[in-house]
Structure 1
């Protein structure tokens, strides 16, 4: 069904770009990325053609979890610059047609946040979840450091106390379970609005909300959490209708109807993203039933059926015009597109798929040049979750140019936040800018093609022709896409009308005689003629 909720006009046809600020670009030579460094590379983002950048957290923090432990929502962390530097970046980006989104950690703060310190000594304060004795399960409660005594509920690491948005269900033996309309939860909902309003008023265009499903506790089916975000969306539509709200929920079928403009297919919960990219190398949770075969596999061992099943479930729940599924190449928590056995050569067909599918494409910094996930790096600011889930390798410095520091920083390499990829053939922006055949130039052309072709955007219709190798589909009734990410060739019979189609961006695909024949690692985007 069509949606009656408004949406920012700029969002639907946008290509997003995620910046991990610690390792994107260092402007002051201390070895840590910052806003000044990012400002120096705005021309790269404009040249690439992205419409919006999303920064992982920039707020003040003790950095026990790389900034996802916020100590002040209204102040930029000094390592990145000042609030004025962020405003300057926003204005400079806007002058280039690029919007800026921030990361909002909504469900918890740092244990160094003034809210928590005040709460720890004030038994009348309901901002966090308090229990006078260890609750059940015991592993999610930590001793309160202040005079209040008792225990606080954590949301992730022990340094991240959960903000109190209430419990969906009360229990007579657990008096700490405030209802969602209690004073503490109501104050926290207002605080979320106040934080967002502060940054909207200085020019921010939206937020990606971290752990968006984690707010209301014991919420079977996320019913009360959905009501909370529906309230936030109503406020946003009325007060800041040009702003966007994206979620880290991982279930677009739930998150978008709840009020978000878009939700990401992610590595956890829903298997859609893993069924596309997951090589089994890098970041892998032991509770995943996969890796299993994945579609973008050089040996062609996977299928597209899991992704399509989840895509259809999500889009059926969202409805026409109701919002979007965001599809990332990777992120700061998940292994890069180029990981393990998948090389930059294999990634070319992945970008052809990403930019022609009716989702919101999101490029993780460096994936446009084929930066690789670097294995076996040590923990840095909480980056290793378990022996099999090492996020560090997805967070290495951006490779801007050849040389020891890769153009990331003028500091000595041993002072870098993380080491640069040591591979002698690592890619870099400068080298690929000089090569028209590079992955970087291909990504730029694909982004431009998507922008210039409404049929390839979210509003264009989708007809899937085959769920095998090659994967073939028609967008908007006018554009044929054929993707063969495996090493071996593949072919598919086509409906009438595609002979003589005009090639728009093609590598290794031939359309003739009612068939599409694809070489290994091939893709083709064609426009129907006549």
Structure 2
């Protein structure tokens, strides 16, 4: 039985940093650790408590760093291990913890483990099929070893061998989870975590966490693996956390994680919980997914019920063992500001995210309303299909009105990705100078959440109206109203109350309990 999550996690406000695109300190067009360190005062001002940095290890960058060639050394484009240590130390002095992204299920095909395995038929760190039988999707050996290897995602990402849950006479190369190769890989995960936690890191977000054990119905053996690893972590590093990219909190937390993200995929509803909130099929949606009207839709054509049902099922399963994490977007999924969604629609979304009982995770730039940028070229594996280009959510952070929006002093043609060309693009500097801006609202909401435990991840919630508007009570005395549609909407509280507004725009509550919500209105109220 694993222990409860570290106490600090319950109050965390997460902030995802795509390091290539956040801040460039040396003018080479690519963000780096020193650039992140220079912006820590801004993150502290905003109220961020924990940053998650996308993979920053040595890599050929065929998949933007998710193809790791050395788990113990950072990529030179970002700096050195010492620069990362300095960043962690500087963040800690500001009360900010740092999580790294751990790619657990595969490596780059340039990792020394793989090049050794490709030359040694007796090495079972990876999954190899014999020369005379090529299963679908397997790739040819690049070394002297005959046969075919199994990739996890792109061909350049060979799957580490954590074993198979079931044997198959037709695939005699399948190894059980306790075979030598799988045992070595489980130990390697401990060694990698131990190495970085000793540097002061606060934990990890684990990429493709459900992918490790193959042919694993119900993820039973994968859950055993992570539960075993969590038991070690609880003893060796009790304040460290594991968050997963599983997309199914009700499965991932019982499997040993402290928290899991609602994502654009995963779970019984194939990702509908997150996509039903704020996806609008802006270009990072697989052609296999049917476009859906999200609840945060100007036409009022969505429903919050899909998310509410999935959230309730997950949290009833999780109990006090961990948390569901609600991201504003991420490096793989459309930003909040995408497609037809305009800036006036974003405040209500943040009011919901920062007052709902989940851990909030803000994708860099969402707090100022950076938009998903369509039509970009494929860069470091960003394009996954005709309608699925992830680059639009990975563009450079927009800091100010100086050259390259303050992201880099280098020439524009050397930037990691092009900037948003809109002359009216939002910037941190302009919004910090404007008390009515989105960033100030986000900052006030974070401060309110921190000062009011009943608005946090652990307090109860009761939904009073699951439509337009959405009305819910946090704890016993806080009423939240959001109307993502442009059409005014009304609702009625079940009893007469006297409420005072803590943060509101376009929403009123009369003493008789009548709620009026203007289009795109929102409000957080305290019952007197």
* TM-score strictly above 0.5: yes
1:382 aligned residue = 381
Q: How does 1:474-513 map to 2 (within 5 A)?
A: 474-498=473-497, 500-512=498-510, 513=512
Question: In 1, Cα distance between the equivalents of 2:321 and 2:462?
Answer: 20
2:274 aligned residue = 273
Q: Cα distance 1:125–1:342, how it changes in 2: closer, same or farther (>3 A)?
A: same
1:239 aligned residue = 236
1:285 lines up with 2:286 in the alignment: yes
Q: How does 1:311-390 map to 2 (within 5 A)?
A: 311-319=311-319, 321-390=320-389
SS of residue in 2 equivalent to 1:236: helix
2:27 aligned residue = 29
Deviations 1:284-332 (A, max 9, x none): 11222x422210001100001110111111111112x111000000000
Question: Structure 2 length normalisation: TM-score?
Answer: 0.98
Deviations 1:420-446 (A, max 9, x none): 100111000000010000001000000
RMSD: 1.1
1:305 lines up with 2:305 in the alignment: yes
Question: In 1, Cα distance between the equivalents of 2:353 and 2:63?
Answer: 30
Deviations 1:105-156 (A, max 9, x none): 0000000000001111111111000111375751x20011111111100000
Question: In 2, Cα distance between the equivalents of 1:323 and 1:73?
Answer: 27
Question: In 1, Cα distance between the equivalents of 2:343 and 2:74?
Answer: 35
Displacement of 1:519? 0.3
2:469 aligned residue = 470
C-alpha contact 2:134 2:148 (8 A) present in aligned 1? no
C-alpha contact 1:134 1:141 (8 A) present in aligned 2? no
Q: Cα distance 1:497–1:459, how it changes in 2: closer, same or farther (>3 A)?
A: farther
Question: In 1, Cα distance between the equivalents of 2:451 and 2:131?
Answer: 60
Q: Cα distance 1:10–1:67, how it changes in 2: closer, same or farther (>3 A)?
A: same
1:49 aligned residue = 47
C-alpha contact 1:275 1:291 (8 A) present in aligned 2? no
Q: How does 1:510-521 map to 2 (within 5 A)?
A: 510-512=508-510, 513-521=512-520
SS of residue in 2 equivalent to 1:510: strand
Question: In 2, Cα distance between the equivalents of 1:134 and 1:345?
Answer: 60
Question: In 1, Cα distance between the equivalents of 2:260 and 2:144?
Answer: 40
2:454 aligned residue = 455
1:405 aligned residue = 404
1:160 aligned residue = 157
C-alpha contact 1:135 1:141 (8 A) present in aligned 2? no
SS of residue in 1 equivalent to 2:110: coil
Question: In 2, Cα distance between the equivalents of 1:88 and 1:128?
Answer: 35
Displacement of 1:61? 0.2
Question: In 1, Cα distance between the equivalents of 2:154 and 2:131?
Answer: 19
2:101 aligned residue = 103
Runs of 4+ in 1 over 3 A off after TM superposition: 133-137
1:187 aligned residue = 184
Displacement of 1:46? 0.3
Q: Cα distance 1:415–1:4, how it changes in 2: closer, same or farther (>3 A)?
A: closer
SS of residue in 2 equivalent to 1:520: strand
C-alpha contact 2:352 2:482 (8 A) present in aligned 1? yes
1:296 aligned residue = 296
Question: In 2, Cα distance between the equivalents of 1:339 and 1:134?
Answer: 48
Question: In 2, Cα distance between the equivalents of 1:377 and 1:87?
Answer: 34
Displacement of 1:5? 2.1
Deviations 1:307-366 (A, max 9, x none): 0111111111112x1110000000000010000111121010000000000000000000
Question: In 2, Cα distance between the equivalents of 1:83 and 1:91?
Answer: 12
Displacement of 1:55? 0.2
Deviations 1:13-56 (A, max 9, x none): 11000000000000010000001111110111000001000000
Displacement of 1:6? 2.3
Question: In 1, Cα distance between the equivalents of 2:167 and 2:288?
Answer: 29
C-alpha contact 2:2 2:234 (8 A) present in aligned 1? no
1:87 aligned residue = 85
Question: In 2, Cα distance between the equivalents of 1:232 and 1:470?
Answer: 43
Question: In 2, Cα distance between the equivalents of 1:468 and 1:417?
Answer: 41
2:112 aligned residue = 114
2:123 aligned residue = 125
**Which of 169, 174, 181 is the aligned partner of 1:172?**
169
Give 5+ residue unaligned stretches, structure 2.
none
SS of residue in 1 equivalent to 2:307: helix
Aligned residues: 523
Question: In 1, Cα distance between the equivalents of 2:219 and 2:53?
Answer: 27
C-alpha contact 1:497 1:528 (8 A) present in aligned 2? no
Deviations 1:45-73 (A, max 9, x none): 00000100000000000000000000000
C-alpha contact 1:274 1:291 (8 A) present in aligned 2? no
